[in-house]
Chain A
């Protein structure tokens, strides 16, 4: 069974600041890490491989330093890795990103199963996975919370629809985006890290792709224009009251009346 996992490098903390002048995320000096949801996708791939055999390839798109997440995937047990990287891919929105990755995947060969994390912790759109499946013309199930069964030519999964759970049987090839806690992701192994230090990461640039038209990639290929990024207002107003519980209860009631909540 051939499995592909799509992963992404994201900022290491959620405390990333926005430059108030340019509206751009201040990424300088911020440590990066693998998108936490992607760890669940990798773990899912590893569990399926342990049962069914085959190989796992991890692919990421980003600047050269994002190869670090591929190295991390190797140290968790992933077999092959590819980095889709070209200056011309910069500034891509979800649509251009999905298109670029789907072009890269075509180059990497045929896969029975493509796994993505449900969403990333920086963009949070949860759209790239399903859009890749559209470009590859394969079926997709998102928010997968449980793998019920894996057969030779298909698998049965549970999809979390918030208010109810849908059980879906889906034929290979297909794409799944997996939810948090589907499995507890294993930790990277020092032994595997040492052993895969020199393992090749295939780099894919615009020139390697089937569609070489620059207008389809990066900022040019993105219908979404970001006008402004800003941290949302937070309400930190606090009042501290003191008194006996009777007095406090009365005061609270008065306040709620004042605000017309009661």
Chain B
């Protein structure tokens, strides 16, 4: 399908819709940042960047694009990892970051209504100041809420609290032809037809543009304690995870990490981690309303860990200690990135009972393929992040070994009844693996849904499937 390439007239029309020359960028005004996302290898410039400020503007631009057959790609902070926000067909890039207002805090419904450009860290700080809690907690705190919704971001608290989808109650969406619709709402229960808001969550900007989100909040737990648990080996650490889950004492997070990643993070942050003497660690977080309540919750888990060969159990029970651990944890991705020349990632998810098998498989893969692979992740929810590092390999050798590693990892995930992506999405980069893993009948249904929403295929084309 061929699209209209923007000309001078289109730019002028768009400028007259926006009526603020500072919010319409084209040509050399478009910074390099807009041509890629966080992972960077998929590159394509938009013809024009429109920094929209209201639903009305989004709707008008969308209608203009629809009438003129111009592709549109929405973009938040550009922190994605699979190229979802890269404008493959150029056209219009809709930068959502100026729509960053918190519109309403409805304390009697425990609901907050925000625009999509609000950053995760801004939302977290805003609600926590008011003793409320927005649980989804992906590592990248400067991502926008719109981006989080578009990839159904998960994060570290998923073990206990679930993922972004579980906290989206309603959405205002601009459809590809410019119509504005509302999906869901402030209601707790909803059996009124198809779950349209759930369809929007995780649709990676292919079905509509989110212009408003109604999010569910929880009361803020008063206290959190983390346990940093050193193990003599990764196998021992990760082997303990299924036993912890089985123990029915539910931490908010179960993460695993290896010494090398910790040391990379120390270097990256210029700050020491509280412990780096062991080969592998589990990091558990518990929350509750008092120290006593949490201590009695973690006691049985502590005993399980010691029985499984943990060297010790280190207790982090103050804000300073929590910061020293979780700041480093939040910086792992950037730290790994800084330790190599280039990298690619996998974000597979497997049933929790198989997480140890998957981790060990990835861990041993570097020997077989001779490429450096670093991994850390949300062991408790079965979602693993493995980073394949280029280091000094030639481009050719890198392509070959990286592909080999990826193929093997995805094949293993399939064998364990896993999925291609746990939280980063499919975007552009993971399409081949997605197509390989998915039942063609399911892909056909997805394509049908796309056609109903976007008959001209102008919204974020070339994403999710081939």
Please give the residue numbers on chain A whose beta carbons come within 8 Å of chain B beta carbons, in ascending order: 12-13, 31, 33-34, 36, 39, 75, 183-193, 244-245
Which of B271, B274, B291, B318 has the most CB atoms of chain A within a 10 A radius of its CB?
B318
The 8 closest A-B pairs by CB, nearest first: A184-B272, A190-B313, A187-B314, A188-B315, A187-B274, A33-B318, A189-B312, A191-B312
Is B450 among interface residues, defined by CB-CB distance under 8 A? no
Tell me the smallest distance from the CB of A147 to a CB of chain B, in Å.
15
Contact B320 A193 (CB under 8 A): no
A183 to B314, CA, bound (A): 17
Could you tell me the distance between the alpha carbons of A183 and B274 in the complex, rounded to whole angstroms? 9
How far is B306's CA from A245's CA once the two chains are assembled, in angstroms?
60
Residues of A within 8 A of B272 (CB): 183-184
- 1/0 per residue B435-446: CB within 8 Å of A? 000000000000
Residue pair A187, B306 in contact (C-beta under 8 Å): no
Smallest CB gap from B229: residue in A = A190
In the bound complex, do residue B324 and residue A36 qualify as a contact, i.e. CB atoms below 8 Å apart?
no
Nearest CB in chain A to that of B315: its residue: A188
Q: Which of B271, B275, B318, B319 contacts A186 (CB 8 A)?
A: B275
* Cβ–Cβ < 8 Å partners of B64 in chain A: none
Cβ contact within 8 Å between A244 and B22: yes
Q: Determine the distance from Cα of A192 to Cα of B227 in the docked complex, in whole angstroms.
A: 14
Contacts of A190 in B (CB 8 A): 227, 302, 312-315
In the complex, the answer to whether A186 meets B315 with C-beta atoms within 8 Å is no
In residues 147-184 of chain B, which contact A (Cβ within 8 Å)?
none
**A187 and B275 contact, CB distance less than 8 A:** yes
**B303 nearest in chain A by CB position:** A190
Separation of A185 and B318 alpha carbons in the complex (Å): 12
A185 and B274 in contact (CB under 8 A), knowing A13-B319, A190-B227, A245-B22? yes
Task: Tell me the complex Cα distance, A183–B228, Å.
Answer: 18
B residues apposed to A, CB below 8 Å: 20, 22, 223, 227-228, 271-275, 291, 302, 306, 312-321, 324
- The answer to whether A193 and B274 touch across the interface, beta carbons within 8 angstroms, is no
| Interchain CB contact (< 8 A) of A12 among B271, B315, B318 | B318
CA distance A34 to B312 in the complex (A): 22
Asked whether A187 lies within 8 Å of B273 as measured between CB atoms, the reply is no
Q: What would 7 A/B residue contacts be, using CB atoms closer than 8 Å? A: A34-B318, A183-B272, A187-B228, A187-B316, A188-B314, A189-B314, A190-B314
Contact flag A187-B291 (CB < 8 Å), given A36-B320, A244-B20, A245-B22: no
Q: Given A36-B320, A184-B324, A185-B274, are A191 and B306 neighbors across the interface (CB < 8 Å)? A: yes
Asked if B314 contacts A31 (CB within 8 A), the reply is no
Known contacts A13-B319, A187-B274; can you find 5 more A-B pairs with CB under 8 A?
A: A184-B324, A186-B274, A188-B315, A189-B313, A190-B312
Instruction: List B contacts of A189 (CB < 8 A).
Output: 312-315
Residues of B within 8 A of A33 (CB): 317-318
Q: In the complex, what residues of B have CB within 8 A of residue A13's CB?
A: 319
User: Smallest distance from the beta carbon of B230 to chain A beta carbons, Å?
Assistant: 10
Instruction: Give A186 Cβ to nearest chain B Cβ, in Å.
Output: 6
Shortest Cβ distance from B299 into A: residue: A190
- CB-based nearest A residue for B311: A191
Minimum C-beta distance from B432 to chain A (A): 44
> In the assembled complex, how far is the CB of residue B397 from the closest CB belonging to chain A, in whole angstroms?
39
- Contact residues in B for A186 (Cβ distance below 8 Å): 274-275, 314
Find chain B residues with CB under 8 A from A191 CB.
Answer: 306, 312-313
- Determine how close the nearest CB of chain B comes to the CB of A47; give it in whole angstroms: 12
Residue numbers in A under 8 Å from B317 (CB-CB):
33, 188
Q: How far is the CA of A160 from the CA of B123 in the complex (A)?
A: 39
Please report the C-alpha to C-alpha distance between residue A188 and residue B275 in the assembled complex, in whole angstroms.
11
CB-defined contacts of B324 to chain A, threshold 8 Å: 184
Closest residue of B by beta carbon distance from A185: B274
Instruction: Give complex CA distance A142, B259 in Å.
Output: 35
